[in-house]
């Protein structure tokens, strides 16, 4: 009977699927109109139920009549009886200890799967998502640097598997928020659909689980485990470079998930075109969906990130300190946060309030080796703060005397401290042309020689703008 069933099934699905899902099944017994088949694992059972149930029902009906029934027997563990299945992949590198009582322990790296004795209907496997609850959309500051990636991520979070962004690949340099963003997507999906199985895993964790699976001859369980995930978040796929076997297994898992409408989210430190040591067929899959990059955040975004972080941690700092920090560390959010933390640690150790001077001492040690350039934006901000004037005014076309003066000073420092052209500076200061900027620089020079008060302004501002 089962052979007849297989015949029909084989005609209805792809050869590959047939080999994977039906060939390993053993018919056990036929009692009346009840056929019992043995499947190798619980994943297997769930997979069949989830994906082939209609087909299976049809063939059973055809072969055994309309009262025909199918029962599964799962290669089992006698000890765990009716406990719910748990699949727990810890984030740390601890290996799961093999339980000596289990007759069929399945050890995939640190994932331990216990197959229960009986299967009363379909139950959901619990997979620990490994998501970091702090890396949410709420705590992710939006800026020009991340707008596309963030909104694509948000779309995916609202409709996992149901957007054109599958896979979604987020790429960008170290410390720019890739892990944070993909985590946020995972959290939001879990939030909206608690029943979906979301899994965050780093690529090196995946690779080492795979190596363990090869060693212990459990590659099937490894693959089946990943194939039943609804939303797979694979962090730092550049780690797969040069690892052909790992790429192969990921390729198959990827295809399976993609074909079944599951969402795949990946991060990488480079765009697909620049990834070396990656199989072409895998790279071409990456391009199916959307690749969105994260750029280094601009000054305003850096300030917002610091403020958000301080707010979350209940810390207060003088705004000049925050601005100084944001201004000094430009290329890496992780370092920016690191500097904030060490600043706070220092101050509580020394029981000193965090002043701008203390901050400067600290930060300069921190960023000793990174070149920094003052930006026009920062100069404008410092100048406007100094004169207590909204920055919009400085950027406007107004000809009011105080505004003109502040604007000229900002132009003067921009010329002196940045590599920007006169035209660029003019553009940032209310759309003036280069001649106006040049004129401003001359005026400031002249005034500083004749006007004592004006000279004082310049000296104060110079101090604020110059480091060390
Ligand atoms: P990556 O994975 O790209 O190396 P992470 O996601 O680990 O970077 O981010 C490094 C740190 O910077 C994390 O603590 C993260 O919360 C923080 N961070 C990065 N971007 C942002 C942002 N836009 N808003 C808030 N925090 C951010
Ligand atoms: Mg990361």
Whose alpha carbon is nearest atom 20 of ligand 1?
A: 177
Closest ligand 1 atom to 180 CA: 6
**CATH hierarchy code of domain 376-465:** 1.10.1750.10
Ligand nearest the Cα of residue 307 is 1
> Which superfamily does CATH assign the domain made up of 144-293 to?
P-loop containing nucleotide triphosphate hydrolases (3.40.50.300)
**CATH hierarchy code of domain 2-122:** 3.30.300.180
Residues contributing to the annotated binding site? 175, 177-179
Give, as residue ranges, everything with CB less than 5 Å from ion ligand 2. 178-179
**What is the Å distance from ligand 2's center to 287 Cα?**
21
| pTM metric for this prediction | 0.61
- 8 Å CB contact between 227 and 259: no
Ligand nearest the Cα of residue 235 is 2
**CATH hierarchy code of domain 299-366:** 1.10.8.60
Helix axes 42-51, 219-227, angle to 10 degrees: 40
Per-residue pLDDT of 13-61, as tens digits, reads 877 778 778 888 888 888 888 888 887 766 677 778 777 888 888 888 8
Closest ligand 1 atom to 140 CA: 24
Residues contributing to the annotated binding site for ATP? 175, 177-179
19-48 residues labelled b (16+ CB within 10 A) or e (exposed): ebbbeebeeeeeeeeebbbbbbbbbbbbbb
Residues with CB under 6 A from ligand 1: 135, 139-141, 146, 172, 174-180, 305, 333-334, 337
The residue extents of the domains of the chain are 2-122, 144-293, 299-366, 376-465
pLDDT tens, position by position, for the chain (468 residues)? 888 889 888 888 877 778 778 888 888 888 888 888 887 766 677 778 777 888 888 888 888 888 888 877 766 433 333 333 333 333 333 333 333 333 333 333 333 333 322 233 334 457 889 999 999 999 999 999 999 999 999 999 999 999 999 999 999 999 999 999 999 999 999 999 999 999 999 999 999 999 999 999 999 989 999 999 999 999 999 999 999 999 999 999 999 999 999 999 999 999 998 888 999 999 999 988 999 999 999 999 999 999 999 998 888 889 889 988 998 888 889 989 988 988 888 887 777 788 888 888 877 776 654 445 578 888 999 999 999 999 999 998 889 999 999 999 999 999 888 878 888 898 888 888 889 999 999 999 999 889 999 999 999 998 888 753
**What is the Å distance from ligand 1's center to 301 Cα?**
12
Predicted complex: ipTM over 0.90: yes
């Amino acid at each position: 009977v089962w052979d007849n069933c297989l015949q029909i099934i084989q005609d209805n699905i792809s050869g590959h699927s047939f080999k994977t899902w039906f060939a390993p099944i053993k018919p056990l017994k036929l009692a009346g109109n009840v056929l019992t088949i043995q499947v190798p694992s619980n994943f297997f059972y769930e997979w069949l139920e989830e994906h082939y149930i209609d087909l299976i029902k049809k063939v059973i009906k055809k072969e055994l009549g309309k009262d025909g029934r199918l029962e599964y027997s799962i290669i089992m563990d006698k000890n765990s009886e009716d406990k719910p299945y748990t699949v727990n992949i810890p984030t740390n590198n601890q290996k799961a200890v093999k339980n000596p009582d289990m007759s069929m322990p399945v050890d995939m790296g640190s994932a331990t799967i216990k197959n229960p004795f009986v299967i009363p209907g379909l139950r959901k496997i619990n997979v620990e998502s490994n998501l970091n609850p702090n890396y949410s959309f709420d705590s992710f500051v939006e800026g020009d640097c991340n707008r596309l990636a963030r909104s694509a991520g948000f779309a995916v979070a609202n409709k996992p598997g149901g957007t054109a962004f599958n896979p979604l690949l987020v790429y960008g340099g170290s410390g720019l928020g890739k892990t944070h963003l993909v985590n946020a997507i995972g959290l939001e999906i879990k939030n909206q659909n608690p029943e979906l199985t979301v899994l965050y895993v780093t690529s090196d964790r995946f690779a080492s689980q795979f190596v363990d699976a090869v060693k212990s001859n459990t590659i099937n369980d490894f693959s089946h485990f990943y194939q039943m995930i609804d939303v797979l978040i694979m962090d730092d796929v550049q780690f797969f470079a040069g690892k052909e076997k790992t790429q192969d297994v990921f390729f198959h898992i990827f295809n399976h998930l993609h074909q079944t409408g599951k969402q795949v989210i990946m991060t990488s430190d480079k765009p697909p075109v620049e990834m070396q040591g990656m199989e072409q067929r895998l790279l071409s899959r990456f391009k199916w969906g959307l690749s969105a990059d994260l750029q280094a955040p601009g000054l305003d975004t850096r300030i917002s990130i610091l403020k958000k972080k301080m707010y979350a941690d209940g810390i207060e700092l003088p705004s000049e300190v925050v601005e100084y920090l944001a201004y000094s560390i430009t290329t890496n959010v992780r370092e920016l946060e690191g500097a904030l933390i060490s600043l706070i640690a220092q101050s509580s150790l020394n029981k000193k309030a965090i002043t701008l001077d203390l901050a400067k001492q600290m930060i300069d040690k921190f960023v000793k080796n990174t070149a920094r350039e003052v930006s026009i934006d920062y100069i404008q901000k410092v100048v406007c703060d100094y004169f207590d004037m909204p920055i919009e005014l400085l950027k406007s076309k107004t000809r009011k005397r105080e505004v003109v003066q502040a604007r000229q000073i900002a132009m003067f420092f921009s010329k002196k401290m940045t590599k920007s052209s006169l035209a660029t500076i003019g553009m940032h200061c209310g759309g003036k042309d280069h001649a106006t900027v040049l004129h401003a620089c001359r005026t400031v020079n002249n005034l500083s020689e004749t006007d004592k008060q004006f000279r004082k302004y310049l000296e104060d501002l110079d101090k604020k703008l110059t480091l060390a």
